[in-house]
Copies of this chain bind each other. A is one copy, B any other.
Amino acid sequence: MLTSQIVVYSQHGEPADVLSTHSYEIDDSHIGDNEIIVKTLAAPVNPSDINQIQGVYPSKPEKTTNFGTVEASAPCGNEGLFEIIKVGSKVTDFSIGDWAIPAQVNFGTWRTHALANDSEFLKIPNPSQSKANGKSTGLTINQGATISVNPPTALLMLTHYVKLIPGKDWFIQNGGNSAVGKYAIQISKLLGFNSLSVIRDRPNLQELKDELTSLGATKVITEEENGSKEFGPTIKGWTKETGGEIKLALNCVGGKNSTGVARKLANNGLMLTYGGMSFQPVILPTSLHIFKNITSAGFWVTQLLKQNPELKVETLNQIVEWYEDEKLIDAPSLQTKFDPNGDKPLHELYQEAVINSKQGKQLITF
C-alpha cells in the first residue's frame, strides 16, 4: 500500500480557511490494466487555483468522496509535473520513470501521489530521454511543472487567431513584464514577429527594458508613451520600417490600458483579453469597432485546449522543443520542498504559498 496525501476543500472560501490535507491509501499491488500510479515532482500555485477554492472561477473540480473523505471534497491545483512509478498491464504510452503532466485541468495536482487512468496524463520527456534524443539539455522541474498554462497561452494567442507575417508584422501587449508577457516576447522572437510591449513607468525602468530586450523584445515603451499623441509617429515609424502592421493586441490589464493598446491596432486588428489585472473592464471606443473594424475577443487556454486536445499536444511539443534547445527561458518560481515526514502538513505549505504568491510564482516540490 502507498499513502497519498492530497490537499482538498469541502466548502469554498479563502484557502487559509478551507484547505485540509487528506491521507488515503493507494493499493499499488493491484492496479487496473490501463491505470498508472504517479508521484508528484512539483505543483505550483496559479491564480486560477486560488479562485477555484474561493468559488469564483467558472471551471472547477467536482466534489467527490473518491479519496475517502467523509464530506464530498474537491482536490486543489491544476498544473504539475509527475513521474510514473507504476503502470498497468495494458499501458503502452508510459513506462516507469517517464515524466507526465495532467491532460486536463481540475485533476488536483496538490498531492503526493495519484492513481489515474493513463488517458488522464500526457507524457513529456524527462532529462535523460531528452539527452538520449540528442538534445543538449532536458527540462527542469520548474519548466515541466509550469508548462501547461502560461507558455501555451502566449504561443496560442500569437498563432491561433491572427496570421502575423514573420519579419513584418507586430503585436502589442500590455503587462509586458508579466509571466505570459515574457513568454510572448520570447516566442514572438522565435517566430520572427515584432513585439511592442507596454509597461508601467517605474524607478528601474531601464533595467526592465534591458531585461525584456535581452529576452527578444523588439520595442518596449511605457504606458505614458503609448497614451501620448506625440509618441504615435514614433510607433508608426517602427511599423513602417518593417513593412508590417500591428495586427494583434494582447491585453491582461483592462481599463484605459486596454483602450491604449487597441488604439494602436491597424484596421481589422484583433485584441485578445486573457486577464484583467486592473479589475477594470475592457473599454473600446465605438469608432474603433465601427470604422477600424477592431474586434475584441477573449482567450482562455483552459477552454481552447479542452476543445482541441490535438492542439494541446502540438503546442506542448513545440514548447518542450524550445526548452530542450534552450531557446526559451521559463519564468522562475520560488520553490519550497515538502517533507512528508515533517511537521508541516501539505495544505499548510500551500496556504503559505498562496500568501507568498504576491512575491512571485510559488512552486512546491516533492
Contacts and interface: CB of A to CB of B under 8 A. Distances in A.
A276 interface: yes
A295 B290 CA distance: 14
Contacts of A276: 285-287, 290
Interface in A184-239: none
A303 B268 CA distance: 11
A275 B286 CA distance: 7
A296 B296 contact: yes
Contacts of A287: 58, 276
Interface in A289-336: 289-300, 303
A97 interface: no
A254 B286 contact: yes
A286 B299 CA distance: 10
Given A58-B291, A281-B259, A291-B58, A273 B286 contact: yes
A105 to B, nearest CB: 13
10 contacts: A276-B290, A281-B283, A281-B285, A282-B296, A283-B284, A284-B284, A289-B296, A289-B298, A293-B298, A293-B300
Interface string A239-257: 0000000000000001000
A274 interface: yes
A179 interface: no
A115 interface: no
Interface residues of A, number: 28
Nearest to A279: B286
Residue of A273, A281, A285, A290 ringed by the most chain B CB atoms within 10 A:
A290
Contact of A281 (B284, B292, B299, B300): B284
Contacts of A294: 298
Nearest to A288: B298
A295 B297 contact: yes
Contacts of A299: 289-290
Contacts of A273: 286, 289-290
Shortest beta-carbon contacts, A-B, top 8? A289-B298, A276-B286, A290-B298, A273-B289, A296-B296, A295-B297, A58-B291, A282-B284
Contact of A296 (B259, B295, B300): B295
Contacts of A254: 286
A294 B300 CA distance: 11
A291 B281 contact: no
Given A259-B281, A283-B283, 19 more contacts: A273-B286, A276-B287, A276-B290, A281-B285, A281-B286, A282-B285, A282-B296, A284-B284, A284-B296, A286-B298, A289-B298, A291-B300, A291-B303, A293-B300, A293-B303, A295-B295, A295-B298, A296-B296, A296-B297
